[in-house]
Chain A
Amino acid sequence: MITTNGLVKTYGQVTAVDGVDLAVREGDRYGLLGPNGSGKTTLVRMLLGLVFATRGTIEVLGVPVPKRVHDALPRIGAMVEGPGMYPHLNGRANLTLMDAAGPGGGRADRKRRIGEALERVGLAGIDKRPVKAYSLGMRQRLGLAAALLRRPQLLILDEPTNGLDPRGIREIRELLAGLNAEGTTVFLSSHLLGEIDALCTRVGVMDRGRLVLQDELAALRAETGRVLVGTPEPERVIALLDGRVEQRDGERLTVRHPDPGDLNAELIKAGIRVTALGAERRTLEQVVLEATTTSSDRVEGSS
Protein backbone atom coordinates (compact mmCIF):
# COMPACT_ATOMS: atom_id res chain seq x y z
CA MET A 1 0.00 0.00 0.00
CA ILE A 2 2.72 2.45 0.99
CA THR A 3 6.38 1.89 0.21
CA THR A 4 9.14 4.43 0.58
CA ASN A 5 12.79 3.97 -0.23
CA GLY A 6 15.53 6.03 1.33
CA LEU A 7 13.21 8.98 1.77
CA VAL A 8 14.97 12.18 2.78
CA LYS A 9 13.61 15.68 3.34
CA THR A 10 15.83 18.56 4.33
CA TYR A 11 14.74 22.09 5.08
CA GLY A 12 17.91 24.11 4.70
CA GLN A 13 20.24 22.73 7.34
CA VAL A 14 17.62 20.71 9.13
CA THR A 15 16.97 17.13 8.13
CA ALA A 16 13.33 16.46 8.95
CA VAL A 17 13.11 12.97 7.47
CA ASP A 18 16.26 10.94 7.07
CA GLY A 19 16.40 7.76 5.00
CA VAL A 20 12.99 6.29 5.80
CA ASP A 21 12.03 2.91 4.32
CA LEU A 22 8.38 2.61 5.17
CA ALA A 23 6.39 -0.50 4.32
CA VAL A 24 2.65 -0.53 4.92
CA ARG A 25 0.83 -3.59 3.61
CA GLU A 26 -2.75 -3.97 2.55
CA GLY A 27 -5.07 -4.51 5.49
CA ASP A 28 -2.59 -3.18 8.02
CA ARG A 29 -3.47 -1.03 10.93
CA TYR A 30 -0.17 0.78 10.91
CA GLY A 31 0.81 3.09 13.71
CA LEU A 32 3.61 5.57 13.22
CA LEU A 33 4.89 6.51 16.61
CA GLY A 34 7.33 9.20 17.55
CA PRO A 35 7.76 12.28 19.69
CA ASN A 36 6.71 15.68 18.37
CA GLY A 37 9.21 16.93 15.85
CA SER A 38 10.44 13.49 14.87
CA GLY A 39 9.34 13.92 11.25
CA LYS A 40 5.98 12.12 11.31
CA THR A 41 3.98 14.96 9.82
CA THR A 42 6.57 15.73 7.17
CA LEU A 43 6.53 12.06 6.20
CA VAL A 44 2.72 12.03 5.98
CA ARG A 45 2.76 15.19 3.86
CA MET A 46 5.26 13.63 1.50
CA LEU A 47 3.04 10.56 1.11
CA LEU A 48 0.22 12.87 0.00
CA GLY A 49 2.32 14.91 -2.40
CA LEU A 50 2.03 18.09 -0.34
CA VAL A 51 5.74 18.23 0.43
CA PHE A 52 8.31 17.18 -2.13
CA ALA A 53 11.05 14.79 -1.07
CA THR A 54 14.67 15.84 -1.32
CA ARG A 55 15.73 12.27 -2.14
CA GLY A 56 14.18 8.84 -2.29
CA THR A 57 11.06 7.34 -3.79
CA ILE A 58 7.49 6.90 -2.61
CA GLU A 59 4.84 4.57 -3.89
CA VAL A 60 1.28 4.75 -2.60
CA LEU A 61 -1.44 2.38 -3.83
CA GLY A 62 0.96 1.21 -6.53
CA VAL A 63 1.40 4.73 -7.89
CA PRO A 64 4.63 6.77 -7.78
CA VAL A 65 4.34 9.91 -5.65
CA PRO A 66 4.42 12.83 -6.30
CA LYS A 67 4.56 12.16 -10.05
CA ARG A 68 1.18 10.49 -10.39
CA VAL A 69 -0.22 11.24 -6.95
CA HIS A 70 -3.48 12.35 -8.55
CA ASP A 71 -4.23 8.77 -9.51
CA ALA A 72 -3.87 7.64 -5.91
CA LEU A 73 -5.45 10.53 -4.01
CA PRO A 74 -9.09 9.82 -4.93
CA ARG A 75 -8.76 6.46 -3.19
CA ILE A 76 -7.18 7.95 -0.09
CA GLY A 77 -8.92 9.59 2.81
CA ALA A 78 -6.62 11.75 4.84
CA MET A 79 -6.39 14.08 7.76
CA VAL A 80 -3.20 16.08 8.17
CA GLU A 81 -2.47 18.01 11.34
CA GLY A 82 -6.01 18.72 12.36
CA PRO A 83 -9.04 19.37 10.18
CA GLY A 84 -9.19 22.35 7.83
CA MET A 85 -12.64 23.86 7.47
CA TYR A 86 -14.17 27.12 6.36
CA PRO A 87 -15.12 28.56 9.75
CA HIS A 88 -18.11 30.57 8.57
CA LEU A 89 -19.91 27.58 7.04
CA ASN A 90 -21.66 24.76 8.82
CA GLY A 91 -20.37 21.20 8.83
CA ARG A 92 -22.53 19.89 6.02
CA ALA A 93 -21.74 22.86 3.80
CA ASN A 94 -18.04 22.28 4.40
CA LEU A 95 -18.27 18.63 3.42
CA THR A 96 -20.35 19.50 0.35
CA LEU A 97 -17.81 22.09 -0.74
CA MET A 98 -14.87 19.75 -0.30
CA ASP A 99 -16.64 16.92 -2.07
CA ALA A 100 -17.56 19.14 -4.99
CA ALA A 101 -14.04 20.53 -5.31
CA GLY A 102 -12.42 17.40 -6.72
CA PRO A 103 -13.05 14.25 -8.70
CA GLY A 104 -14.49 10.97 -7.49
CA GLY A 105 -17.47 12.35 -5.61
CA GLY A 106 -20.71 12.02 -7.53
CA ARG A 107 -23.21 14.81 -7.17
CA ALA A 108 -26.16 12.44 -7.19
CA ASP A 109 -25.38 10.58 -3.98
CA ARG A 110 -23.42 13.35 -2.29
CA LYS A 111 -26.06 14.09 0.29
CA ARG A 112 -26.38 10.45 1.24
CA ARG A 113 -22.62 9.98 1.51
CA ILE A 114 -22.29 13.05 3.70
CA GLY A 115 -25.08 11.78 5.91
CA GLU A 116 -23.42 8.40 6.24
CA ALA A 117 -20.00 9.85 6.99
CA LEU A 118 -21.43 12.15 9.64
CA GLU A 119 -23.28 9.25 11.19
CA ARG A 120 -20.14 7.15 11.30
CA VAL A 121 -18.19 9.77 13.21
CA GLY A 122 -21.04 10.53 15.56
CA LEU A 123 -22.14 13.88 14.17
CA ALA A 124 -25.46 12.82 12.65
CA GLY A 125 -27.32 15.45 14.64
CA ILE A 126 -25.26 18.54 13.75
CA ASP A 127 -27.28 21.64 13.11
CA LYS A 128 -26.75 24.83 11.16
CA ARG A 129 -24.12 26.25 13.45
CA PRO A 130 -20.96 27.39 11.66
CA VAL A 131 -17.82 25.35 12.21
CA LYS A 132 -16.24 28.17 14.21
CA ALA A 133 -18.74 27.38 16.97
CA TYR A 134 -17.67 23.72 17.11
CA SER A 135 -15.60 22.26 19.91
CA LEU A 136 -12.18 20.85 19.11
CA GLY A 137 -13.53 17.33 19.30
CA MET A 138 -16.40 18.10 16.93
CA ARG A 139 -14.01 19.59 14.41
CA GLN A 140 -11.84 16.52 14.68
CA ARG A 141 -14.84 14.31 13.98
CA LEU A 142 -15.85 16.48 11.06
CA GLY A 143 -12.34 16.19 9.62
CA LEU A 144 -12.61 12.44 9.94
CA ALA A 145 -15.99 12.49 8.21
CA ALA A 146 -14.39 14.41 5.35
CA ALA A 147 -11.75 11.71 5.05
CA LEU A 148 -14.41 8.99 4.93
CA LEU A 149 -16.66 10.67 2.35
CA ARG A 150 -15.65 8.56 -0.63
CA ARG A 151 -15.06 5.24 1.10
CA PRO A 152 -11.30 5.27 0.66
CA GLN A 153 -9.11 2.18 0.35
CA LEU A 154 -6.45 3.81 2.44
CA LEU A 155 -6.84 6.13 5.39
CA ILE A 156 -3.89 8.33 6.28
CA LEU A 157 -4.51 10.06 9.57
CA ASP A 158 -2.14 12.37 11.37
CA GLU A 159 -2.95 12.56 15.09
CA PRO A 160 -6.62 11.67 14.59
CA THR A 161 -7.62 11.72 18.24
CA ASN A 162 -6.23 15.15 19.07
CA GLY A 163 -8.67 17.09 21.18
CA LEU A 164 -11.05 14.20 21.82
CA ASP A 165 -12.07 13.11 25.28
CA PRO A 166 -11.43 9.51 26.41
CA ARG A 167 -14.85 8.37 25.25
CA GLY A 168 -14.34 10.03 21.89
CA ILE A 169 -10.94 8.43 21.50
CA ARG A 170 -12.50 5.05 22.15
CA GLU A 171 -15.27 5.68 19.62
CA ILE A 172 -12.80 6.69 16.95
CA ARG A 173 -10.68 3.66 17.73
CA GLU A 174 -13.68 1.39 17.30
CA LEU A 175 -14.65 3.19 14.11
CA LEU A 176 -11.17 2.72 12.64
CA ALA A 177 -11.07 -0.93 13.68
CA GLY A 178 -14.47 -1.42 12.02
CA LEU A 179 -13.33 0.24 8.80
CA ASN A 180 -10.21 -1.88 8.85
CA ALA A 181 -12.32 -5.02 9.22
CA GLU A 182 -14.22 -3.93 6.10
CA GLY A 183 -10.94 -3.83 4.19
CA THR A 184 -9.63 -0.30 4.65
CA THR A 185 -5.95 -0.02 5.32
CA VAL A 186 -5.37 2.41 8.17
CA PHE A 187 -2.15 4.38 8.56
CA LEU A 188 -2.06 6.70 11.51
CA SER A 189 0.58 8.69 13.28
CA SER A 190 0.56 9.61 16.90
CA HIS A 191 2.81 10.55 19.73
CA LEU A 192 0.52 8.70 22.12
CA LEU A 193 1.77 5.22 22.84
CA GLY A 194 -1.44 3.96 24.33
CA GLU A 195 -3.45 4.90 21.27
CA ILE A 196 -1.26 2.90 18.92
CA ASP A 197 -0.93 0.06 21.38
CA ALA A 198 -4.71 -0.29 21.52
CA LEU A 199 -5.45 -0.07 17.80
CA CYS A 200 -2.56 -1.04 15.60
CA THR A 201 -1.27 -4.35 14.32
CA ARG A 202 1.96 -2.94 12.98
CA VAL A 203 4.16 -0.25 14.39
CA GLY A 204 6.84 2.04 13.05
CA VAL A 205 8.82 4.24 15.38
CA MET A 206 10.32 7.54 14.25
CA ASP A 207 13.11 9.27 16.07
CA ARG A 208 14.89 12.37 14.82
CA GLY A 209 13.74 11.80 11.28
CA ARG A 210 14.73 8.14 11.16
CA LEU A 211 12.48 5.12 11.18
CA VAL A 212 14.25 3.23 13.93
CA LEU A 213 11.85 0.34 14.21
CA GLN A 214 9.17 -1.27 12.09
CA ASP A 215 7.53 -4.54 12.99
CA GLU A 216 4.37 -6.39 13.94
CA LEU A 217 3.10 -5.27 17.30
CA ALA A 218 2.75 -8.90 18.42
CA ALA A 219 6.38 -9.60 17.57
CA LEU A 220 7.53 -6.52 19.41
CA ARG A 221 5.66 -7.52 22.50
CA ALA A 222 7.24 -10.96 22.63
CA GLU A 223 7.43 -12.81 25.90
CA THR A 224 10.50 -11.99 27.88
CA GLY A 225 11.04 -15.49 29.31
CA ARG A 226 9.87 -14.35 32.70
CA VAL A 227 6.70 -15.12 34.58
CA LEU A 228 4.89 -12.82 36.96
CA VAL A 229 3.61 -14.63 40.03
CA GLY A 230 1.29 -13.30 42.68
CA THR A 231 1.23 -15.24 45.94
CA PRO A 232 0.51 -14.64 49.62
CA GLU A 233 3.51 -16.81 50.47
CA PRO A 234 6.42 -15.18 48.63
CA GLU A 235 9.08 -16.54 51.02
CA ARG A 236 8.13 -20.14 50.27
CA VAL A 237 8.31 -19.45 46.53
CA ILE A 238 11.73 -17.92 46.88
CA ALA A 239 12.89 -20.92 48.88
CA LEU A 240 11.43 -23.33 46.34
CA LEU A 241 12.73 -21.62 43.18
CA ASP A 242 16.12 -20.87 44.60
CA GLY A 243 17.91 -18.23 42.51
CA ARG A 244 15.32 -18.03 39.78
CA VAL A 245 13.32 -15.21 41.40
CA GLU A 246 14.64 -12.02 39.84
CA GLN A 247 12.57 -9.43 41.59
CA ARG A 248 10.27 -9.19 44.55
CA ASP A 249 7.66 -6.53 45.08
CA GLY A 250 5.59 -7.45 48.14
CA GLU A 251 3.48 -10.38 47.08
CA ARG A 252 4.45 -10.09 43.43
CA LEU A 253 7.45 -11.94 42.12
CA THR A 254 9.20 -11.96 38.78
CA VAL A 255 10.49 -15.44 38.05
CA ARG A 256 12.81 -16.48 35.24
CA HIS A 257 11.01 -19.45 33.73
CA PRO A 258 10.28 -20.44 30.11
CA ASP A 259 6.74 -21.68 30.61
CA PRO A 260 4.06 -20.27 32.93
CA GLY A 261 2.09 -23.57 32.87
CA ASP A 262 5.01 -25.64 34.13
CA LEU A 263 5.79 -23.09 36.80
CA ASN A 264 2.19 -23.14 37.96
CA ALA A 265 2.21 -26.94 38.23
CA GLU A 266 5.46 -26.78 40.18
CA LEU A 267 4.10 -24.28 42.68
CA ILE A 268 0.85 -26.18 43.17
CA LYS A 269 2.75 -29.40 43.74
CA ALA A 270 4.67 -27.70 46.52
CA GLY A 271 1.37 -26.61 48.05
CA ILE A 272 1.93 -22.90 47.51
CA ARG A 273 -1.18 -20.78 46.94
CA VAL A 274 -1.05 -18.76 43.74
CA THR A 275 -3.33 -15.70 43.25
CA ALA A 276 -2.03 -14.58 39.85
CA LEU A 277 0.27 -15.96 37.24
CA GLY A 278 1.16 -14.88 33.70
CA ALA A 279 3.97 -14.57 31.23
CA GLU A 280 5.67 -11.20 31.24
CA ARG A 281 5.53 -9.35 27.94
CA ARG A 282 7.49 -6.38 26.89
CA THR A 283 5.34 -3.30 26.83
CA LEU A 284 5.34 -1.12 23.74
CA GLU A 285 6.78 1.60 25.88
CA GLN A 286 9.84 -0.45 26.69
CA VAL A 287 10.28 -1.32 23.04
CA VAL A 288 10.01 2.28 21.96
CA LEU A 289 12.33 3.55 24.67
CA GLU A 290 14.94 0.98 23.72
CA ALA A 291 14.62 1.76 20.04
CA THR A 292 14.89 5.50 20.50
CA THR A 293 17.94 5.34 22.77
CA THR A 294 19.87 3.12 20.41
CA SER A 295 19.04 5.45 17.61
CA SER A 296 20.40 8.50 19.36
CA ASP A 297 23.53 6.54 20.17
CA ARG A 298 23.84 5.61 16.54
CA VAL A 299 23.53 9.19 15.44
CA GLU A 300 26.23 10.25 17.86
CA GLY A 301 28.46 7.37 16.76
CA SER A 302 28.19 8.09 13.10
CA SER A 303 28.68 11.81 13.25
Chain B
Amino acid sequence: MAKLFRRPRTYVIAGLLCALPFVVAVFLATTRIPPPPGQGGAFLSAVLSNGALYPAAAMALVMPVFLPVSVAVLAGDSVAGEASQGTLRYLLIRPVGRTRLLVAKLVALIVFVLFAIGAVLLTSFLTGITMFGGEPAAGVAIPADVTSLSGVTITPFGLVLRLLATVVYIVISMLSVAAIALFLSTLTDSGLGAAMGALAVLVTSQVLVTLDAAAAIRPYLPTRYWLAWIDFFRDPMLLRDVERGAGIQLVFLVVLLGAAWANFMTRDITN
Protein backbone atom coordinates (compact mmCIF):
# COMPACT_ATOMS: atom_id res chain seq x y z
CA MET B 1 0.00 0.00 0.00
CA ALA B 2 2.78 2.40 0.86
CA LYS B 3 4.19 2.25 -2.63
CA LEU B 4 0.93 3.47 -4.06
CA PHE B 5 1.24 6.81 -2.42
CA ARG B 6 4.31 7.86 -4.26
CA ARG B 7 2.99 10.47 -6.60
CA PRO B 8 4.43 13.15 -8.88
CA ARG B 9 4.97 15.72 -6.14
CA THR B 10 7.32 13.25 -4.46
CA TYR B 11 9.60 13.43 -7.44
CA VAL B 12 9.34 17.19 -7.60
CA ILE B 13 10.46 17.47 -3.98
CA ALA B 14 13.29 15.01 -4.51
CA GLY B 15 14.32 16.91 -7.62
CA LEU B 16 14.42 20.17 -5.70
CA LEU B 17 16.44 18.52 -2.95
CA CYS B 18 18.99 17.42 -5.53
CA ALA B 19 19.01 20.81 -7.17
CA LEU B 20 20.24 22.70 -4.12
CA PRO B 21 23.62 20.93 -3.84
CA PHE B 22 23.93 21.16 -7.59
CA VAL B 23 23.48 24.93 -7.56
CA VAL B 24 25.99 25.26 -4.74
CA ALA B 25 28.40 23.07 -6.68
CA VAL B 26 28.09 25.23 -9.77
CA PHE B 27 29.04 28.32 -7.83
CA LEU B 28 31.87 26.61 -6.04
CA ALA B 29 33.25 25.09 -9.17
CA THR B 30 33.15 28.30 -11.19
CA THR B 31 34.55 30.61 -8.53
CA ARG B 32 36.72 28.17 -6.57
CA ILE B 33 36.26 30.36 -3.53
CA PRO B 34 36.05 28.09 -0.51
CA PRO B 35 34.06 29.21 2.53
CA PRO B 36 36.39 30.33 5.28
CA PRO B 37 37.17 27.51 7.71
CA GLY B 38 34.59 27.22 10.44
CA GLN B 39 31.89 28.89 8.37
CA GLY B 40 29.57 27.74 5.65
CA GLY B 41 28.46 24.20 5.10
CA ALA B 42 30.59 21.40 6.40
CA PHE B 43 33.00 19.76 3.94
CA LEU B 44 32.54 22.51 1.37
CA SER B 45 36.16 23.64 1.32
CA ALA B 46 37.37 20.07 1.32
CA VAL B 47 35.23 19.34 -1.68
CA LEU B 48 37.27 21.66 -3.82
CA SER B 49 40.19 19.31 -3.55
CA ASN B 50 38.24 16.10 -3.85
CA GLY B 51 34.81 15.79 -5.48
CA ALA B 52 34.19 12.37 -4.02
CA LEU B 53 33.38 13.96 -0.69
CA TYR B 54 30.64 16.06 -2.20
CA PRO B 55 27.81 13.69 -1.20
CA ALA B 56 28.67 14.36 2.45
CA ALA B 57 28.73 18.09 1.77
CA ALA B 58 25.38 17.82 0.01
CA MET B 59 23.88 16.07 3.03
CA ALA B 60 25.12 18.87 5.24
CA LEU B 61 23.49 21.41 2.91
CA VAL B 62 20.16 19.64 2.68
CA MET B 63 19.82 18.38 6.23
CA PRO B 64 19.21 21.48 8.39
CA VAL B 65 16.27 22.97 6.50
CA PHE B 66 15.33 21.50 3.19
CA LEU B 67 14.90 17.85 4.07
CA PRO B 68 12.99 18.43 7.31
CA VAL B 69 10.69 20.86 5.54
CA SER B 70 9.81 18.37 2.85
CA VAL B 71 9.37 15.56 5.36
CA ALA B 72 7.14 17.78 7.51
CA VAL B 73 5.03 18.75 4.50
CA LEU B 74 4.56 15.17 3.36
CA ALA B 75 3.96 13.77 6.83
CA GLY B 76 1.63 16.59 7.74
CA ASP B 77 -0.38 15.90 4.64
CA SER B 78 -0.40 12.13 5.06
CA VAL B 79 -3.51 11.70 7.19
CA ALA B 80 -4.97 15.20 7.03
CA GLY B 81 -4.66 15.22 3.24
CA GLU B 82 -6.65 12.01 2.97
CA ALA B 83 -9.21 13.54 5.30
CA SER B 84 -9.64 16.73 3.31
CA GLN B 85 -9.80 14.83 0.03
CA GLY B 86 -12.52 12.68 1.52
CA THR B 87 -10.57 9.51 0.83
CA LEU B 88 -9.79 8.84 4.50
CA ARG B 89 -13.32 7.70 5.26
CA TYR B 90 -13.35 5.44 2.23
CA LEU B 91 -10.04 3.89 3.22
CA LEU B 92 -11.37 3.23 6.71
CA ILE B 93 -14.60 1.66 5.54
CA ARG B 94 -12.81 -0.30 2.86
CA PRO B 95 -11.79 -1.45 5.59
CA VAL B 96 -8.22 -0.53 6.32
CA GLY B 97 -7.48 -0.73 10.05
CA ARG B 98 -6.53 2.58 11.61
CA THR B 99 -3.29 1.17 12.99
CA ARG B 100 -2.48 -0.31 9.61
CA LEU B 101 -3.13 2.99 7.91
CA LEU B 102 -0.74 4.82 10.23
CA VAL B 103 1.93 2.17 9.76
CA ALA B 104 1.51 2.35 5.99
CA LYS B 105 1.88 6.13 6.11
CA LEU B 106 5.02 5.80 8.19
CA VAL B 107 6.49 3.22 5.84
CA ALA B 108 5.73 5.52 2.91
CA LEU B 109 7.56 8.33 4.69
CA ILE B 110 10.60 6.14 5.36
CA VAL B 111 10.60 5.16 1.71
CA PHE B 112 10.42 8.81 0.75
CA VAL B 113 13.30 9.81 3.03
CA LEU B 114 15.46 6.97 1.71
CA PHE B 115 14.53 7.81 -1.85
CA ALA B 116 15.26 11.51 -1.35
CA ILE B 117 18.58 10.89 0.39
CA GLY B 118 19.54 8.33 -2.20
CA ALA B 119 18.76 10.76 -5.00
CA VAL B 120 20.74 13.53 -3.31
CA LEU B 121 23.73 11.27 -2.71
CA LEU B 122 23.76 9.98 -6.25
CA THR B 123 23.37 13.33 -8.00
CA SER B 124 25.81 15.07 -5.67
CA PHE B 125 28.37 12.32 -6.20
CA LEU B 126 28.06 12.77 -9.94
CA THR B 127 28.26 16.56 -9.68
CA GLY B 128 31.17 16.32 -7.30
CA ILE B 129 33.17 14.06 -9.55
CA THR B 130 32.44 15.97 -12.74
CA MET B 131 32.89 19.46 -11.37
CA PHE B 132 35.72 19.08 -8.90
CA GLY B 133 37.37 15.98 -10.16
CA GLY B 134 38.69 13.41 -7.80
CA GLU B 135 39.79 9.84 -7.75
CA PRO B 136 37.48 7.97 -5.46
CA ALA B 137 39.67 4.93 -5.92
CA ALA B 138 42.65 6.74 -4.45
CA GLY B 139 40.96 7.40 -1.17
CA VAL B 140 39.72 10.60 0.38
CA ALA B 141 41.62 12.92 2.64
CA ILE B 142 39.75 13.78 5.79
CA PRO B 143 39.01 17.51 5.44
CA ALA B 144 40.90 19.85 7.65
CA ASP B 145 37.96 21.89 8.84
CA VAL B 146 36.20 18.85 10.15
CA THR B 147 38.77 16.81 11.87
CA SER B 148 41.65 17.54 14.16
CA LEU B 149 43.70 14.89 12.40
CA SER B 150 44.15 16.25 8.92
CA GLY B 151 45.76 14.24 6.25
CA VAL B 152 44.23 10.94 7.28
CA THR B 153 42.66 9.27 4.30
CA ILE B 154 39.49 7.24 4.14
CA THR B 155 39.40 4.30 1.81
CA PRO B 156 36.56 4.29 -0.72
CA PHE B 157 35.03 1.42 1.23
CA GLY B 158 35.30 3.43 4.43
CA LEU B 159 33.66 6.39 2.72
CA VAL B 160 30.72 4.30 1.60
CA LEU B 161 30.40 2.83 5.08
CA ARG B 162 30.45 6.25 6.68
CA LEU B 163 27.88 7.52 4.19
CA LEU B 164 25.63 4.56 5.00
CA ALA B 165 25.89 5.27 8.72
CA THR B 166 25.02 8.87 7.91
CA VAL B 167 21.96 7.79 5.95
CA VAL B 168 20.73 5.65 8.84
CA TYR B 169 21.24 8.49 11.29
CA ILE B 170 19.48 11.00 9.06
CA VAL B 171 16.56 8.64 8.50
CA ILE B 172 16.11 8.34 12.26
CA SER B 173 16.27 12.12 12.65
CA MET B 174 13.80 12.66 9.85
CA LEU B 175 11.46 10.05 11.31
CA SER B 176 11.12 12.09 14.46
CA VAL B 177 10.18 15.06 12.25
CA ALA B 178 7.71 12.79 10.52
CA ALA B 179 6.34 11.66 13.88
CA ILE B 180 5.68 15.25 14.95
CA ALA B 181 3.92 16.05 11.70
CA LEU B 182 2.05 12.74 11.65
CA PHE B 183 0.75 13.33 15.15
CA LEU B 184 -0.45 16.82 14.21
CA SER B 185 -1.88 15.35 11.03
CA THR B 186 -4.18 13.12 13.04
CA LEU B 187 -5.34 16.13 15.02
CA THR B 188 -6.44 18.31 12.15
CA ASP B 189 -7.96 18.00 8.71
CA SER B 190 -5.57 20.58 7.28
CA GLY B 191 -2.34 19.15 5.94
CA LEU B 192 -0.86 22.61 5.72
CA GLY B 193 -1.68 23.25 9.36
CA ALA B 194 0.00 20.04 10.45
CA ALA B 195 3.11 20.79 8.38
CA MET B 196 3.25 24.32 9.74
CA GLY B 197 2.92 23.03 13.28
CA ALA B 198 5.76 20.58 12.83
CA LEU B 199 7.95 23.27 11.28
CA ALA B 200 7.13 25.63 14.14
CA VAL B 201 8.40 22.99 16.56
CA LEU B 202 11.59 22.53 14.56
CA VAL B 203 12.29 26.23 14.14
CA THR B 204 11.70 26.83 17.84
CA SER B 205 14.06 24.01 18.62
CA GLN B 206 16.72 25.38 16.25
CA VAL B 207 16.47 28.81 17.83
CA LEU B 208 16.74 27.41 21.35
CA VAL B 209 19.78 25.37 20.38
CA THR B 210 21.67 28.57 19.66
CA LEU B 211 20.31 30.37 22.70
CA ASP B 212 22.66 30.19 25.66
CA ALA B 213 19.85 31.04 28.07
CA ALA B 214 18.20 27.78 27.07
CA ALA B 215 21.29 25.71 27.71
CA ALA B 216 19.53 23.71 30.43
CA ILE B 217 17.12 22.06 28.00
CA ARG B 218 19.46 22.06 25.01
CA PRO B 219 20.42 18.37 25.19
CA TYR B 220 16.74 17.41 24.93
CA LEU B 221 15.84 19.46 21.88
CA PRO B 222 14.98 17.41 18.79
CA THR B 223 17.32 19.30 16.49
CA ARG B 224 20.30 19.53 18.86
CA TYR B 225 22.20 16.59 17.42
CA TRP B 226 20.95 16.70 13.87
CA LEU B 227 24.36 17.35 12.40
CA ALA B 228 26.08 14.91 14.71
CA TRP B 229 26.54 12.53 11.80
CA ILE B 230 29.40 14.75 10.67
CA ASP B 231 31.31 13.00 13.43
CA PHE B 232 31.22 9.88 11.30
CA PHE B 233 33.77 11.62 9.09
CA ARG B 234 36.18 12.35 11.90
CA ASP B 235 39.00 10.06 12.60
CA PRO B 236 38.70 8.45 15.00
CA MET B 237 34.91 8.53 14.83
CA LEU B 238 33.39 10.46 17.69
CA LEU B 239 30.21 8.62 18.54
CA ARG B 240 29.06 10.26 21.76
CA ASP B 241 26.85 12.88 20.11
CA VAL B 242 25.58 10.42 17.57
CA GLU B 243 24.46 8.05 20.28
CA ARG B 244 22.80 10.79 22.26
CA GLY B 245 21.15 12.20 19.18
CA ALA B 246 19.80 8.83 18.13
CA GLY B 247 18.52 8.22 21.65
CA ILE B 248 16.64 11.52 21.75
CA GLN B 249 15.21 11.00 18.29
CA LEU B 250 13.97 7.56 19.26
CA VAL B 251 12.30 8.92 22.38
CA PHE B 252 10.57 11.61 20.33
CA LEU B 253 9.63 9.01 17.77
CA VAL B 254 8.06 6.58 20.22
CA VAL B 255 6.21 9.19 22.26
CA LEU B 256 4.81 11.07 19.27
CA LEU B 257 3.87 7.99 17.31
CA GLY B 258 2.16 6.65 20.41
CA ALA B 259 0.25 9.90 20.73
CA ALA B 260 -0.65 9.85 17.04
CA TRP B 261 -1.87 6.29 17.32
CA ALA B 262 -3.89 6.89 20.50
CA ASN B 263 -5.48 9.96 19.00
CA PHE B 264 -6.26 8.40 15.66
CA MET B 265 -7.79 5.26 17.18
CA THR B 266 -10.37 7.19 19.15
CA ARG B 267 -11.05 10.00 16.75
CA ASP B 268 -14.39 10.60 15.04
CA ILE B 269 -13.88 10.85 11.30
CA THR B 270 -16.24 13.64 10.41
CA ASN B 271 -14.65 14.88 7.26
Contact = CB atoms under 8 A, between A and B. Distances in A.
Interface string A156-191: 000000000000000000000000000000000000
A103 B96 CA distance: 8
A98 B4 CA distance: 10
Given A73-B93, A76-B93, A102-B95, A45 B86 contact: no
A78 B93 contact: yes
Contacts of A74: 95
A84 B91 CA distance: 9
Interface string B78-120: 0000000111111111111100000000000000000000000
B89 A80 contact: yes
A49 interface: yes
Nearest to B271: A81
Task: Choose among B7, B88, B91, B94 the residue with the greatest number of A CB atoms under 10 Å from its CB.
Answer: B94
A50 B266 CA distance: 10
- Secondary structure type dominating chain A contacts: loop
A16 B122 CA distance: 56
Contact of A52 (B91, B93, B95, B266): B266
A52 B267 CA distance: 8
Contact of B86 (A70, A76, A83): A83
B157 to A, nearest CB: 41
Contacts of B7: 88
Interface residues of A, number: 29
B268 interface: yes
A196 to B, nearest CB: 23
B90 A146 contact: yes
Contacts of A48: 89, 92-93
Nearest to B265: A52
A84 B86 contact: yes
B269 interface: yes
Interface string A76-104: 10101111111110000000011011110
Nearest to A74: B95
Nearest to B85: A84
A291 B89 CA distance: 32
A69 interface: yes
Contacts of A45: 89, 268-270
A76 B91 CA distance: 13
Contacts of A50: 89, 92-93, 268-270
Task: Choose among A48, A74, A83, A101 the residue with the greatest number of B CB atoms under 10 Å from its CB.
Answer: A101
B8 interface: yes
Interface residues of B, number: 21
Contacts of A124: none
A41 B270 CA distance: 9
B86 A98 contact: no
B93 A101 contact: no
A126 interface: no
A214 to B, nearest CB: 24
B138 interface: no
B4 A97 contact: yes
Contacts of B94: 73, 98, 101-102
B97 A51 contact: no
B1 interface: yes
A100 B95 contact: no
A188 B87 CA distance: 20
Contacts of B85: 84-87
Contacts of A97: 4
A178 B270 CA distance: 31
Interface in A135-152: 146
Interface string B243-271: 00000000000000000000000101110
Nearest to B7: A88
A51 B139 CA distance: 61
B56 to A, nearest CB: 36
Interface in A38-69: 42, 45, 48-52, 69
A100 B270 contact: no
A102 B101 CA distance: 10
A101 B91 contact: yes
A85 B87 contact: yes
B8 A88 contact: yes
Contacts of A73: 93-95
19 contacts: A42-B270, A45-B268, A48-B89, A48-B92, A50-B270, A51-B268, A51-B269, A52-B268, A74-B95, A78-B93, A81-B86, A81-B89, A84-B90, A85-B86, A100-B1, A100-B4, A101-B1, A102-B94, A102-B96
Which 8 A-B residue pairs are closest in the complex by CB-CB distance? A84-B86, A102-B94, A73-B95, A50-B269, A84-B87, A51-B268, A84-B90, A48-B93
Interface of B: 1, 4, 7-8, 85-97, 266, 268-270
Interface of A: 42, 45, 48-52, 69-70, 73-74, 76, 78, 80-88, 97-98, 100-103, 146
